[in-house]
Amino acid sequence: MLDRVRALLAKAESTDFPQEADAFTAKAQELMARHRIDHALLVAASGERDRPVTRRVAVDNPYEAPKSLLLQVVAEANSCRAVWAKRFGFTTVVGFGADLDSTELLFTSLLVQATRAMTQAKTTTDEYGRNTTRSFRQSFLTAYASRIGERLSAAADEVGQEAAGSASGAQLLPVLAARDDAVRDAFEKQFPQLTHHTTTINNRQGWASGRAAADRAALHGRHAVAHE
């Protein structure tokens, strides 16, 4: 499954046609969501003891706050929880192993797509002649992450609703709820006290361009990132 997802995301990263990138990334997320459901049912039926694990993902400068936000929304769409340790330069993600694989894979691909779209976008100067590149890119990536979160959540909900309406739906819902509870408990045990870092949008052009890029990539104003 991961090989199929990697192949789809590689196509999304390489194409110059937004509609193709959209289709490839959406299909990859659908595969991951269906795999998560199938895996959860298999583990429940077999009686295996599957526990949440922890993984650290590096978040590099510059623009680490919106990059961390992107990782957070991807993690949430894949039934994981994430917290950014700013002073150490990484985000800790808690979830089941297969979900962590999906999260890291999709985050990396979306960041590649975002960076390419961001660097191709035109920036301007303000009324004082100052270059607005940094504020543009900060706002671009924040808007991109926010919109990607909306789209991934909608895609995951659609797959979940289809699965709930299937023959195994009655068995599925308590299984998924139990796994969500296990992830939440593991996360809260590791991070009993969190603060929230607020990202401020101060470049309207960057915000609008980032939202548009997220729509093309595939799948407000202020968004909170869980922060250790």
For position 145, what pLDDT does the model report?
92
Cα distances from 72 to residues 25, 55, 67, 207, in angstroms, run 18, 13, 9, 19
Cβ distance 81 to 91 under 8 Å? Answer: no
Phi, psi of 91 (to 5 degrees): -115, 135
Cβ distance 38 to 165 under 8 Å? Answer: no
For position 225, what pLDDT does the model report?
45
The predicted model scores a pTM of 0.78
Q: How would you class 117 by CB atoms within 10 Å of its CB: exposed for 0-12, middle for 13-18, buried for 19 or more?
A: buried
For position 19, what pLDDT does the model report?
73
For position 26, what pLDDT does the model report?
77
Report the distance separating Cα 124 and Cα 137, nearest Å: 11
Range of the domain at 28: 2-227
Please give the tally of structural domains in the chain.
Answer: 1
For position 24, what pLDDT does the model report?
82
Cβ distance 95 to 78 under 8 Å? Answer: yes
Cα distances from 220 to residues 30, 120, 137, 212, in angstroms, run 25, 23, 15, 14
Report the distance separating Cα 205 and Cα 136, nearest Å: 7
For position 64, what pLDDT does the model report?
93
Q: Give the mean pLDDT per block of 10 residues along the chain (228 residues).
A: 81 79 78 77 74 94 92 93 93 94 91 87 65 84 90 76 64 80 95 82 83 68 44
